Structure 1
Amino acid sequence: MGLVKLLLTSGGVTNPSIHEALVDLLGKPVEEATALCIPTAQWGHPMCGPVSARGFVAGLPPWGGMTSMPWNSLGLLELTALGTIDEERWMPWIRAADVLLVDGGEATYLSHWMQESGLAALLPSLSDTVWVGVSAGSMVMTPRIGADFVQWPGAPDDRTLGLVDFSIFPHLDVFPENTMADAEKWAAEIGGPAYVLDDQSAIRVVDGVAQVVSEGHWRRLPEESPR
């Protein structure tokens, strides 16, 4: 049984090419799809909190976007709550969803709660489900995020789920510390294959095959040159 299909974005569904990739993965228009949004990663990052979490859930700028798309239905799933209720109750919610919209924040915190809640163990059985990550919601699928991105004091190290074989440096040129020079130093520390993505770029992964979808700038390190 295949793994959940992945659309690993830096800034969300920000342009027609990423939107087209999402619809292709869903196999139907978003208007016919059921979605759950997961804000959990926000609680682990010192720059996030109630206002930004509400922004993501409500689809408000500058935090939202995906949740304001015209889904057939949209629900909220908070991973920190799942350990307190029966699996028989929450697993059907996830299995019924066509897409999981997973917000950014702190990737090691998100990884922790994906494992604690049981969602990580469930992923291999969700071969018809699409996972759309934003920033940390994408980075959580990688083997490592690099020490610079660890902001949760409870993280033992920078390791995350490792469901893909590459790492992600998001938000290229969005923040002062997210330059290509910063990304090159980060990649040297990571030591494995990595993608540097701006907010107009994403990575589509199906059956372990990764394909960049971009209307902006991206780079694969160390093999390829800037695009």
Structure 2
Amino acid sequence: MKLLLTSSGISNPSIQNALISLLDKPIEESNALFVPTGMYPFPGGPQYVWKAMNGELGSGMCQLGWKSLGLLELTTLPAIQKEVWVKALKETDALLVWGGDPLFLSYWLKESGLAEVISSLDHLVYVGVSAGSIATSKLFGESYSNMPNTIAQPQTLQTLQFDTFESAFVTAEGAGFVDFAIIPHYNNEKHRDACGVNAATWAAMLPVPVYAIGEQTAIKVAGRTIEIVSEGEWKAFNQAT
């Protein structure tokens, strides 16, 4: 399986080159599907979905010059004949999975059957943004100031003490594409839970290797090969010695 896991999408030339190398052809010759599912649990979710698609939130994932671009909403898939959406995936080169709530997103990745299908599609590149990256893990953690009330439920829920504030912290099983966990937005002041010692506190809650990645960093995965692609900050935690 091929993955490109990011905090903010294709935010610099190094990450864009990593995407092209995974596609093994130019972006303008590649077909993509955009997955906005993770945004809907939050207030203003539909508006944020449009802004993400329109390139108004971070890097413009849909504005990279794809040969074709479509929208794939995971919550609709159980009501559609499987052969229909599987055919669409087989014709797709990149699956652009936006952020939001990783609990909700990982629930629908599995519940829809998509996780199982894309695990068998060797040509497809999964491009994750923020929660879209978190949800790929076998086990992940997430910090919430206001946790959405959805059908998706965590394995554990507790209060975690960060440096100057407390936050709800959950662990849950993700799609299981990778054996490590991700903390996005590392040292981004808009995400205090991922800054400095707080990232270490977050990572300590997880019994797996953890990568904290900033806005200019991505993790490139091709089969068993893992490569850090960065023009910015990142840090590894809980690594085997």
Aligned to 2:182: 168
Seq. identity, %: 41
Which is worse superposed, 207-216 or 158-167?
Answer: 158-167
- Determine the C-alpha separation between the residues in 2 that align with 1:179 and 1:8: 19
- Determine the C-alpha separation between the residues in 1 that align with 2:86 and 2:103: 23
Number of matched pairs = 219
Matched, 1:196 2:193: no
Provide closer, same or farther for how the CA distance between residues 212 and 35 of structure 1 changes in structure 2, counting only shifts above 3 A. Answer: same
Higher helix share: 1
Matched, 1:71 2:87: no
- Unaligned stretches of 5+ in structure 1? none
Q: Post-superposition shift, 1:145?
A: 2.3
1:83-138 superposed Cα distances (whole Å, 9 cap, x missing partner): 11111211111110010000001112111111121101102221001000001111
- Contact 1:58-1:64 within 8 A present in 2 as well: no
SS of 2:53 mapped into structure 1: helix
- Contact 2:119-2:177 within 8 A present in 1 as well: no
- Coordinate RMSD, CA, aligned: 1.7
- Determine the C-alpha separation between the residues in 1 that align with 2:109 and 2:5: 16
Aligned to 1:186: 202
Aligned to 2:110: 115
SS of 1:145 mapped into structure 2: strand
Aligned to 2:193: 177
Matched, 1:51 2:47: yes
TM-score scaled to structure 1, two decimals?
Answer: 0.91
| Equivalent residue runs for 1:94-105 within 5 Å | 94-105=89-100
Find runs of 4+ consecutive structure 1 residues off by over 4 angstroms.
Answer: none
Letter of the aligned partner of 2:133 in structure 1? S
- Unaligned stretches of 5+ in structure 2? 156-171
- Contact 1:103-1:133 within 8 A present in 2 as well: yes
Q: 2:154 aligns with which of 149, 153, 156?
A: 156
Higher strand share: 2
Letter of the aligned partner of 1:80 in structure 2? T
Aligned to 2:223: 207
Which is worse superposed, 144-153 or 187-196?
Answer: 144-153
SS of 1:28 mapped into structure 2: coil
SS of 1:126 mapped into structure 2: coil
